Amino acid sequence: MKTSVKTLLRVVVLIAIAVSLLLIIDKTSQKDSGGKLQLALIQYNDSPLSELSQSGIEDGLTQIGLKAGEDYDLTVSNAQGDMATLNLMIDAVAGSKPDLIFVTSTPTLQVAANKIKDIPVVFSVVADPIVAGAGTSFTEHLPNVTGISTLGDYEGMVKWIKLIRPGTKKIGTIYSPAEANSVKNMSELKKYSDLAGIELVTVPVNSTTEVTDAAMSLIENRPEIVCQIVDNLTSSSIASIIKVCQSNKVPMFGFVSDQSKKGAVLVVSRDYHQAGVDAVNLAKKIFDGAKPADIPFEFVSKTNILINIKTASQYGIVFPDELLKREGVIIAE
């Protein structure tokens, strides 16, 4: 019987993990003689969020005065959205005993929180670390874990919706029931939309192949705006959602900065690059001798508002001066 393509891909990934482990072990040996910090970054999948956070981590390390290859080695691993691979990857990285492990996304933090007990772990791009199992509060948490929450500004988004389109009665979003962060983000949007007297229509989705159909199902509910929450699944498939919105003349508002250039009318985005920088600032405290248990979780320090005037005009949306003149507003080109 022929081996399936999926099985072959799994084998290739496992081989890559084994090679990565050997490289990490080799670098650990170098550390013993050269004194370099051995750092690891584990990501759940490829997405704009992971790319931005990795860039922020690398820039953050530079900002605190560390040079790649001289002061530290950073090994980056990506599970490509496969949970079995993620578990094996975390086992491999933890077994190599790096000085510190950065993790991005809720699934990665969930596995790391369960498996890694004796190595400092610093997270970013996680909506709610409490839901992920990293602690009971921002100050009471696992002794080896700290990090940066990027929970979306759903209160702010609803505020801007009311300002831009005061008569809005119904908005919609797609969410992934399998992702704790997605459920959390959806519930936050619902909380603030309910307070504003706006109905939130939701459609669940379980895989990237279902996203287009889910978007079409959402449109059938006739939302006045699609306000797409942040999660791993929809962030990697956002082009499909925007395409359906544009075809049906329904504006899309989002929470990830690059969505503005892709066709979102308004984006209220936590700065995921800054989240990586902020994570390094927490890591520096550990490098300087602090214990992760004594470092509270923090919210990302920067939020951006991006508007696409050209796209907005297609829907007859005019942005008020209160928004246009707000400090930090970015006009998408």
The proportion of the chain whose per-residue pLDDT surpasses 70, expressed as a percent, equals 89
Parts of the chain belonging to CATH 3.40.50.2300: 5-150+272-302, 154-270+304-331
Q: How far is CA 196 from CA 94, 158, 244, 254, in A?
A: 46, 7, 26, 18
Alpha carbon 38 to its chain's center: 24
- Which pLDDT score, from 0 to 100, does residue 235 have? 87
Burial grade of 216 (CB within 10 A; 0-12, 13-18, 19 or more): middle
HSE toward the beta carbon, residue 330, CA cutoff 13 A = 16
**Hey, is 100 helix, strand or coil?**
strand
Nearest Cα to Cα of residue 43 among 229, 280, 276, 282: 276
Q: What is the mean pLDDT of the chain?
A: 90
Q: pLDDT tens across 48-105, in order? A: 888 999 999 999 999 999 999 999 999 999 999 899 999 999 999 999 999 999 999 9
Work out the average pLDDT over 9-23.
56
The proportion of the chain whose per-residue pLDDT surpasses 90, expressed as a percent, equals 78
pTM of the model: 0.79
Spatial separation of the C-alpha atoms in residues 142 and 24, rounded to whole Å: 25
What is the strand order of the sheet 72-78 is part of?
72-78, 37-43, 100-104, 121-126, 145-149, 298-299
Report whether pLDDT(44) > 80: yes
- Which pLDDT score, from 0 to 100, does residue 172 have? 98
Fold designation for 5-150+272-302? Rossmann fold (3.40.50)
Q: pLDDT tens across 188-228, in order? A: 999 999 999 999 999 999 999 999 999 999 999 999 999 99
Burial grade of 12 (CB within 10 A; 0-12, 13-18, 19 or more): exposed
Q: pLDDT tens across 109-129, in order? A: 999 999 999 999 999 999 999
CATH number of 154-270+304-331: 3.40.50.2300
Spatial separation of the C-alpha atoms in residues 185 and 137, rounded to whole Å: 18
- Which pLDDT score, from 0 to 100, does residue 265 have? 96
Report whether pLDDT(6) > 80: no
- Which pLDDT score, from 0 to 100, does residue 18 have? 54
Report whether pLDDT(310) > 60: yes
